[in-house]
Amino acid sequence: MSQDTLNKISEKLNQHFGSDVLVAELLYDFPCFTINHTKIHEVLTFLKNDEELNFHFLTDLTGMQTADEKQLGVIYHLHNMMKNIRVRIRTFVDINKPDVPTATDLWPGANWMERETFDFYGVRFKGHPNLKRILNVDEMDIFPMRKEYPLEDQSRDDKSDKMFGR
């Protein structure tokens, strides 16, 4: 069923967005699509409003940083509850210009998730109604989930990296 789902969604996305659908793959029986960041809002709108696809529920929205540390990503998990179909949509932007359109106009629940992603990764969601830090202090001038920041307190000498597989 998952391969059929991937093929059906791929066909519709390719028909409407062509080369802006960068990758379509099945990861652990989960349809995943990577979309050009300039078209992400249009793709999300299409996935929500298409009568057959009907992805009306935003399960999750989060950020990530690529291994080369040059890009930030936004990952959307969408759910069609009527058919119990889930899909993952990803988009990537340059870390020096991390602008992505907001999804709060499509799913009001994206508000908190976008604020959290901004707070920890620095992704700026253009058009967001209240994009400010939500968990960290307002005075913080870094984005702590980016790879340039160490996971542990570097001043501690009671831990050995070999204990953490390094």
- For the chain, 166 residues long, give each residue's pLDDT as a single digit of tens: 589 999 999 999 999 999 999 999 999 989 999 999 999 999 999 999 999 999 999 999 999 999 899 999 999 999 999 999 999 999 999 999 999 999 999 999 999 999 999 999 999 999 999 999 999 999 988 898 998 776 666 676 776 666 655 4
Are 65 and 38 a contacting pair, CB within 8 Å?
no
pTM here is 0.89
CATH code matching the domain that covers 2-143, chosen among 3.40.190.10, 3.30.460.80, 3.10.450.50, 3.30.420.40? 3.30.460.80
Residue 65 to residues 75, 110, 118, 133, 147, Cα–Cα distance (Å): 11, 20, 12, 19, 7
Domains of the chain, by residue range, sit at 2-143
Q: Strands, E, within 49-122: which ranges?
A: 57-65, 71-80, 85-94, 99-101
